[in-house]
Structure 1
């Protein structure tokens, strides 16, 4: 079984739409919070800070399975679905209670912000990500 990174995210009033549900575009923000926590906080705990220096999104894909009402924090479980030399895919499931409300994927690419170009994953980054693969 794949090790998953678990992130609990509080919902905000600004996440809601006119129908009282989390707006579809805000799902990206919730997934971003979970992804950043994995790449910044969890990676930092094992001594990796290079992902904080630049990662760009090449693609997002979201399946909406059910609406989410304002209430308790949602749980986002994420894992690494694919690792290549210069990109990796983060997969997610967003839970509202025990029900999966959404599934998503983000294709990410390490990026050298100073030189404005993609870069390859380091061995340390690959090792960290592999722990969730």
Structure 2
């Protein structure tokens, strides 16, 4: 059970227990104790409802962050199209390494640094296993 659900159930249970105790005591000798019981119930319901919406907001924020990460990743991959095509079969660097000049080395280093950065994100658990399967 998530912490959000637990807190929601706990708030509702406490408000219900307050009402049950007040009802079992016949609302005491003071008439405003009935109002207190109803207010406790309403506040418990409001807290439960508020926590429910906080949970929904957290889930949507998580989905948005993952979608933004995927878009950033796709943009970064698109920045390395030249290096990737040169490494593909039939590419400039595929068989003959003598054709690599300084500009090509810089492109290759940037391409490899991109994958190093992604590996570090996996190692430090910035990217979780669910996001890994999105990629």
TM range (shorter): under 0.3
Structure possessing the higher radius of gyration over alpha carbons: 2
**TM-score normalized by the length of structure 2:** 0.23
Structure having the larger proportion of residues in strand: 1
